[in-house]
A and B are shown apart, each in its own frame.
Chain A
Amino acid sequence: MFSYIARRIGTALLILFGSSFIVYNLEALSGDPIAELRTSAARNRDFLIAYYTRQLELDVPPPLRYFHWLQGIAGIFTGHPNFGKARDGLSVYGEIAAAIPVTVRLVLGATILAILLGITVGVITAIRQYSRLDYSMTFISFLMFSLPIFWVAVLLKQYMAIEFNNFLASGQIGIEWLLISSAVVGVIVAGLVSGDRRRVITVFSGSFIAAALMLLIVNWTNWILNPGMGVLGVGVVVGGIGVGISTIVVGFENKRVLWATLTVVAATIAAYFPVNYWWSSSDMNALNLLWPVLALVAVAVAAAFAFTRVDRGPAIRVTVITSVFAGLFLIIDRLFQTWSIYLNTDGINMRPIPTFGEANVRLSSDNFWILFEDGLLHVVLPTIALTLISFAGYVRYSRASLLEVMNMDYIRTARAKGLSERTVIVRHALRNAMIPLTTLMAFDFAGILGGAIITESVFGWHGMGTLFRNAISSQDLNLLMGVFAITSFLAVMANLVADLMYSALDPRIRVR
């Protein structure tokens, strides 16, 4: 095993050497780094051409120049790597160090969201194969699979930012939107249930009326401009989620787990006011968000231990997941409370959804919640766009994988021995179905740092993708190779990790 990893890392270095050599030379051939100077009217053009020739070593043939670059990079083994200087005079190392967090902020949320949503939808459609829901989800995921992100982004900006901001001027949902959104809710809910036409119509009209009623209340309370859940709302939502999770994982019959879950919900309600008070302090920081969540997780583990004697694993899972959701909703509720303050801040001026950038430059507040809200709102559109695109892949793969597994003999055995369908799916099928997906995830995570070239450019984010693109178009070899070194290293490593994970999860496969 160890020698296998060592060998793979050794070959990885060789691969990186080869591909970086090729990329360096290809890029060096692909353009003219001093194009602008050639038609420049600057009086000291000759001096400047000489300067760049010296600075960029244009008089050295690219294959030799590559080794100069490699020499700097090789410093990584002595702890002093030299990525060189970018053409704008900044150090490549610094530019990359600044870009990575930006890219991670942009892509991480979308990737996690796409994985969670994609797998959930994929599993549901696999269980309900060839149902109405399956057909409509198949169509939707194929549609998303076919969407060019640069096209979607323009639409998103227009309708989810500019039009939504216009809408916020009144904050009242118009009658046509009320009807349309209620109808959409109705269709979705009706799609989830199965049955004859009468039942579908009943469910549709029921949920249509419920949704319309809810939207009317939203209008009446001006909830969109002044949202909030309050202690009761958080309690009810978290309670619902907890009961739901415990039903899925261990079944509603398991009262012990249910009690443990409800304990977590009670703890959340009890914590609501103290936590909100604590979060209001002026020295609030991101770390303080974590402590209440950790405390709830601790309560969850304790409750699971207190209520159950045997088979504690699933109980702990249920309560811990519930507690994480509880923490999340405490934060969401707090963000809801900040919303109206944020809207009325000078510099937001009731136009909260931005079309570009990473943060609002006009915002002069140092309040943690305002800045947090601002940061989140800037991620909204790119996250939606990225999620739309990669979501489809996860739906298709997890559906196919689960269907494949459901045909296996051991599933037949599990059913034959009388296990409930829930147990068969959750405990036997799902886990094995997820194994092939690990490869996809490993590559997706590796792609995170290099990936979102188009998204970053459309939404004006200055991450790795933008650096990469700028480096190519301005013939900035040092910058390009710096970005390339990181992304290609991650790609090769993801490959290795995928292989290792595969063998760890599937004992039939062994690495040699």
Chain B
Amino acid sequence: MKAKRTLRAVAVIAAGLLSTSTAVSVATSASAAARSTVIVNETSAMTSLNSGTPDTNLVTNSDIGYLTGAGFWYYDNKPNLIRNTTFGTYKITKNVANDFEVSYTVNKGLVWSDGTPITGVDLLLSHILGSSDYSKKAGLGDPNDGAAFNSGGYGSPYDSHIKGVSLSDDKYTVTLKYDSFQPDWAIFGPGPAPVHALELMVDGKTKLQSAAVNLAAKAQFLTDFNAGLNGSVKRLKTMGDIWSNDYNIQTIDSKTNPLLLVSNGGFIVQSAVANQSVTLVRNPKYNSGPKLYSANPINKVIFSFVTDGSPAAQALGNGEIDVYDGQPDTATFQQLKGLSGVTVSTDTTMTYEHIDLRVGNSAQSTDPNEPAYDGPFKGNGQKARDLRKAFLLAVPRQAIVNKFVAQAYDPANQADATVMNSHFLLPGQAGYSTVTAANGSFTYRNGTQAQRTAQALALVKKWYPSASAGSKTVPIKMLFKNNSRRIGENLLIGNEAAKAGFDVSNVGNAAWSKKLDDPSYDVAMFAWAPSAVSQTGSNANYQSDGSNNHYGWNDADVDAATHALEGLLSPAQVTAKYLAADKQVIGNAWSLPLYQWPQVSAYSSDLKGIKPGPLVPNLLWNYWEWHF
């Protein structure tokens, strides 16, 4: 039996030797030549080519949209708003009371990926997607009850302030008329959409068409758009259905209607495998934005869907992806660091962690039977103010920042990291140092934490003479999402505040966000995640009727300063208003910012030109500069 086995083993080997000859004959030569494909990690799958509906407004969809589209502006890694002058120009043409106009001009000679020229007509669809009035007039339905175009753009300031839109005679300039000055007018700009492709799909076309047919379709859209200003348009209704539904595809192959893929970005979608990957190739006709790098260029970008954390790090190490960005934990970061041939960098995002104290019941609360808030921080009396200030003094901000920013990715780091000190500006933004010098945050960074905690204890003792370290005199309920980072922050705060006589308990759970208006807790800790740079961006948090003011904050000075931010101001005036509001927010001991979230990018060292940015689409923002 053993002899037979040995014999068999020898025979297998011998046959193996024989068989290699057949294998070699069909082998294709492996190309060790220059690489031109980049595989980018996305944590969730693509669900649609259109990220404009509320359902499909997901990071992966909009990242793909960023590579396949170009418009009037983009954010760089500062983040500054950069005007894309290759695509066109825009400026304020009129600014008087009740009449504010901005005109957008598309440069001539730009084309869609099917060769059709891009004109001002292509900008008009964004009005349909943002104006409820237009939607109602054109018989597309009231967006509040569901419109033909299932756009996520309704309900914004654009919707409430736009009066009209007009197209110049040469069809290259679109002018938007608002009823008043819009502080964020620069980012309301219309984006181009391949309206001819939509029109062709309304006609049931499933193939790319000739230039003449495309131009006719574009003309048809202008006719439909203008008709929509006066009455119901059936074609637009059909188009709305196509826009809302037909782009929601996960599989793209030769059977996919090519009209869905018409775009004007540096890359066009070539194929997609559901829940696995999307492949983009260079758009040969691209001329709507910055030129693609020409030496050792990227010819193909593949978005591969891998969950964040260790799987992504392992996949990067195994060469299955080239580019990763996310918020890994310490260990994954170390794992990334340990990979050879991979460049790792840490930056901050615009998302920042902060801690809010309740003053009264939320103005947003709709429940008439809600019990009145009756915690230690209630109202604006001296006692509540002192206790609020004491609590904020006892928040070990430096320790938290060191732990979750500086040491998160370098545990041996002993240097102090930057604590964030303004509610309106991020460290590094213009005016930040002016604001933080005078907004009262000095109280919360002066001296050592031990000294501040001692001050806090003194303040508590003023009202509760029996208070001492560990006396648990003032019970505090803290709301936050129970993830490991927040648990850690809660433990650090709880341990430190206990020294000032507080007893911090955790009332957080996974459904924390539902409880934001609930008056049963005293402190909330979470992060704001701005999606744009805007001078009015923080107003909703601090205005007495602001939609993000869950804590009954009410201060006339804050309201005045934030309302002033809605007008046209010089940069210095903006900074002054920020300072005025911030001073009150901190002076009232409502809230303290903690730190900006760190983010990590890791990519194959062969890949050049990557500059991670703090806003979505993060490191993709300058894809045109990428090269090997």
Mark A residues whose CB is within 8 Å of B.
30-32, 35-36, 38-48, 50-52, 54-55, 85, 87-90, 98, 102, 154, 157-158, 161-162, 165, 203, 206-207, 210, 213-214, 217-218, 221, 223, 226-234, 236-237, 240, 276, 280, 333, 336-341, 344-347, 349, 351, 354-362, 457-458, 460, 462
Contact = CB atoms under 8 A, between A and B. Distances in A.
21 contacts: A38-B514, A46-B547, A85-B55, A90-B47, A161-B318, A210-B9, A218-B13, A221-B17, A226-B16, A227-B16, A228-B18, A230-B15, A230-B16, A230-B17, A236-B11, A236-B12, A340-B24, A341-B23, A344-B29, A357-B276, A361-B279
B13 A221 contact: yes
Contacts, number: 235
A41 B530 contact: yes
Contact of B311 (A206, A234, A356): A356
B27 to A, nearest CB: 5
Interface stretch (B120-128, B152-160, B162-170, B588-596): B152-160
A341 B154 CA distance: 54
A362 B37 contact: yes
B320 interface: yes
B30 A162 contact: no
Nearest to A227: B16
Given A98-B275, A229-B15, A359-B273, A344 B30 contact: yes
B23 A361 contact: no
- Contact-residue size bin, chain B (C-beta under 8 Å from the other chain): 35 or more
Contacts of A203: 2
Interface centre among B13, B251, B274, B279 (most CB of A within 10 A): B13
A44 B19 contact: no
B276 A47 contact: no
B48 to A, nearest CB: 6
Contacts of A38: 513-514, 516
A351 B318 contact: yes
B23 A340 contact: yes
A41 B157 CA distance: 13
A454 to B, nearest CB: 13
A314 B29 CA distance: 49
B529 A41 contact: yes
Contacts of A360: 320
A336 B528 CA distance: 55
Contacts of A50: 144, 155
Interface of B: 2, 4-6, 8-20, 22-24, 26-31, 37, 39, 45, 47-48, 53-56, 58, 143-146, 152-157, 159, 245, 248, 250-251, 273-277, 279, 302, 304-307, 310-311, 314-315, 317-320, 510-514, 516, 526-531, 537, 540, 547-548
Given A361-B277, A361-B302, A42 B11 contact: no
A58 to B, nearest CB: 11
A361 B273 contact: yes
Contacts of A349: 319
A45 B516 CA distance: 15
B108 to A, nearest CB: 33
B11 A44 contact: no
B14 A89 contact: no
A31 B306 contact: no
B16 A337 contact: no
A165 B154 CA distance: 52
A336 B17 CA distance: 12
Contact of B55 (A89, A213, A223, A228): A89
Given A46-B155, A229-B19, A351-B320, 5 more contacts: A41-B540, A43-B157, A51-B54, A340-B24, A462-B275
A457 B14 CA distance: 43
A427 B292 CA distance: 73
Nearest to A32: B514
With most chain A CB atoms within 10 A of its CB, the pick from B22, B47, B56, B143 is: B22
Given A46-B155, A54-B146, A233-B19, A358 B9 contact: no
A85 B8 CA distance: 58
Contacts of B311: 355-356, 458, 460
A362 B315 contact: no
Contacts of B279: 361
What are the 7 A-B residue pairs with the smallest beta carbon separation, nearest first? Answer: A47-B155, A230-B15, A228-B19, A233-B15, A44-B155, A462-B275, A89-B55
A354 B511 contact: no
Contacts of A46: 155, 547
B307 A460 contact: yes
A43 B511 contact: no
Among A32, A228, A333: residue with most chain B CB under 10 A: A228
Given A232-B18, A333-B19, A41 B537 contact: yes
Name A's interface SS: helix
Nearest to A89: B55
Contact of A226 (B8, B23, B528, B529): B23
Contacts of A85: 55
B362 to A, nearest CB: 11
Contacts of A357: 276, 304-306, 315, 320
Contact of A354 (B55, B318, B512): B318
A329 to B, nearest CB: 11
Contact of B511 (A32, A41, A51, A217): A32
Contact of A462 (B16, B26, B45): B45
A228 B25 CA distance: 14
A85 B244 CA distance: 13
Contact of B547 (A45, A213, A361): A45
B18 A230 contact: yes
A237 B516 contact: no
A221 to B, nearest CB: 6
A193 to B, nearest CB: 10
Nearest to B6: A210
B11 A232 contact: yes
A210 B537 contact: no
Nearest to A347: B37
B27 A47 contact: no
Contact of A39 (B143, B146, B318, B528): B528
Q: By CB atoms of chain B within 10 A, which of A41, A157, A346 has the most?
A: A41
Contacts of B305: 357, 460, 462
Contacts of A226: 16, 20, 23
B508 to A, nearest CB: 13
Contacts of A206: 2
Contact of A237 (B12, B30, B274, B320): B12
Contacts of A362: 37, 39, 302, 320
Nearest to B316: A355
B156 A236 contact: no
A356 B548 contact: no
B159 A44 contact: yes
B19 A88 contact: no
Contacts of A346: 30-31
Most buried by B among A42, A218, A358, A360: A42
Given A89-B47, A344-B30, A165 B11 contact: no
Contacts of B14: 230, 232-233
A268 to B, nearest CB: 13
Nearest to B313: A355
A338 B251 CA distance: 28
A375 to B, nearest CB: 12
Contacts of A338: 23
Contacts of B54: 48, 51-52, 55
Contacts of A47: 143-144, 154-156, 159
Nearest to B512: A35
A38 B511 CA distance: 11
A462 B20 CA distance: 37
B281 to A, nearest CB: 11
A230 B512 CA distance: 64
A88 B56 contact: yes
B274 A44 contact: no
Contacts of B511: 30-32, 35
Contacts of A280: 26
Contacts of B248: 89-90
